[in-house]
Amino acid sequence: MSPDGTPAAAAPSPSSPGRLLVTGGAGFIGSAIVRAALDAGWQVRIADNLRADVHGGPPTIDPRAEFIRADVTDPHAMPALLDGVDAVCHQAAKVGLGVDFQDAPDYVGSNDLGTAVLLAALDTAGIDRLVVASSMVVYGEGRYRAGERFVRPGPRHISDLDAGRFDPLDETTGEPLESVLIEEDAPLDPRNVYAITKLTQEYLATSWARSTGGRAIALRYHNVYGPGMPQNTPYAGVASLFRSALARGEAPRVFEDGGQRRDFVHVDDIAGANLAALAATADAASGSFRAYNVGSGHVHTIGDMAEALSRHAGGPAPVVTGEYRLGDVRHITASSERLATELGYRARVGFDDGMREFANAPLRDAVQR
């Protein structure tokens, strides 16, 4: 039996990939990874603290998995979590831009302290395979072109945003810059507390790999959406906020002018990328760390997404508000070619099919604030 009284997972069969720990495995993305891993033959253990601001009600735990209610910031929980584990998929984190800077201690504690505690325990347990959830936010503003030059603009000025000038401008000509796909070797420039903690998680994983001979992969998720997203939470992504508004019979409220370019990737494709990354850690060199963008490979605007969701849900048309949030970036779109070339994985869910499904799929219960 596990410490919380649930049945322990059976020992892996000879044909099984092994036993996998998924931290945050009761969450939106974690649950999708758990399902995909179980379907692929992994024996899965879930660790989740079931935070009230993440889970609106009792989550549905796949009965094929072992579940332990635990917090990754607690070193005393680690022996039970890691017993018999072959690889770890680390999804536990506080996500989103947050409400204000008062959230900073919680972000740092949940994301960075939790990762450090986990990595120290991996070293003690002799586990050397790790996939960690990172994010596109580590790049800050995306990659831009001005004629033949590639540039990385600084943070946007409040005076420009107040005047409705949302696109970063060429400092030489004053003209809007052209947004292009960003690759993993681009300079990193996190611009809010959440982004800083995600980059710190990557640096911790890099240090762990080099120090212990571990093999780590970071997956930089772009805008994830899909069935089972939590509703009505200030920490959710824009897809959840739009979908929650439509569920209330309200129009999605689109900030700025709706022209923000993003790469929207279905949660099932995030799960598929995690399985590809787990497989890759089995053959990776000792002491290695590698980062991969995980996107759909197709660019759409936030306005496109709001329009598609409204249309498929039969709801009111989106309202473009002109409002903005400091810390948001204008355009960030992924090149996922490294993922396809090196790990052999490409996203499979198309934008319109995914939005049609998401527009009518159930969301998780509203979270407690």
pLDDT at 355 over 70: yes
Q: What is the pLDDT confidence band of residue 99, given thresholds at 50, 70 and 90? A: low
pLDDT at 331 over 80: yes
DSSP 111: I
Other residues' Cβ atoms within 10 Å of the Cβ of residue 235: 19
Output the CATH code of domain 19-143+180-359. 3.40.50.720
pLDDT at 130 over 70: yes
Q: Which of 80-94, 130-144, 306-320, 355-369 shows the lowest mean pLDDT across its residues?
A: 355-369
For residue 232, the model assigns a pLDDT of 63
Q: Is 100 helix (H, G, I), strand (E, B) or coil?
A: coil
Residues contacting 188, CB < 8 A, separation 6+: 138, 139, 140, 199
For residue 3, the model assigns a pLDDT of 40
Q: What percent of the chain has pLDDT over 90?
A: 73
pLDDT at 5 over 60: no
Q: What is the pLDDT of residues 305-314, one digit of tens each?
A: 999 999 999 9
For residue 176, the model assigns a pLDDT of 86
Say if CB 335 and CB 299 are below 8 A apart.
no
DSSP 230: B
Average pLDDT for 69-78: 97
Give residue for tokens 């994830």. Answer: 224
| Helix (H) and strand (E) counts in the chain | 11, 16
Q: What is the pLDDT confidence band of residue 329, given thresholds at 50, 70 and 90? A: confident
Q: What angle do CA 220, 223, 225 make, to 5 degrees?
A: 120
Q: What is the spatial distance between Cα 276 and Cα 268, in angstroms, rounded to a whole number?
A: 13
For residue 8, the model assigns a pLDDT of 42
Average pLDDT, the chain: 90
Give residue for tokens 């030489």. Answer: 172
Q: Which of 103-107, 114-118, 185-189, 238-242 has the highest mean pLDDT?
A: 114-118
Q: What is the pLDDT confidence band of residue 13, given thresholds at 50, 70 and 90? A: very low
Other residues' Cβ atoms within 10 Å of the Cβ of residue 297: 19
Average pLDDT for 70-99: 93
For residue 320, the model assigns a pLDDT of 97
Q: What is the pLDDT of residues 185-194, one digit of tens each?
A: 999 999 889 9
Say if CB 46 and CB 67 are below 8 A apart.
yes
Q: What is the pLDDT of residues 213-267, one digit of tens each?
A: 999 999 999 999 999 888 766 556 788 889 989 999 999 999 999 999 999 999 9
Q: What is the spatial distance between Cα 127 and Cα 83, in angstroms, rounded to a whole number?
A: 10
Q: What is the pLDDT confidence band of residue 15, given thresholds at 50, 70 and 90? A: low
Residues contacting 301, CB < 8 A, separation 6+: 258, 259, 260, 261, 262
pLDDT at 140 over 50: yes
For residue 366, the model assigns a pLDDT of 61
Average pLDDT for 136-158: 88
Average pLDDT for 88-103: 84
**Full-model pTM:** 0.91
Q: What is the pLDDT of residues 270-281, one digit of tens each?
A: 999 999 999 999
Distant-in-sequence contacts of 349-352, Cβ < 8 A, 24+ apart: 349/265, 349/266, 349/268, 349/269, 349/296, 350/296, 350/298, 351/264, 351/296, 351/298, 351/300, 351/304, 351/308, 352/308
For residue 10, the model assigns a pLDDT of 42
What is the edge-to-edge ordering of all strands in the sheet holding 87-90? Answer: 66-69, 43-48, 19-23, 87-90, 129-135, 215-221, 288-294
Exposed, middle or buried, 269 (CB in 10 Å: 0-12/13-18/19+)? buried
pLDDT at 16 over 80: no
Amino acid at 1: M
Chain-centre distance for alpha carbon 332: 14
Residue spans per domain, the chain: 19-143+180-359
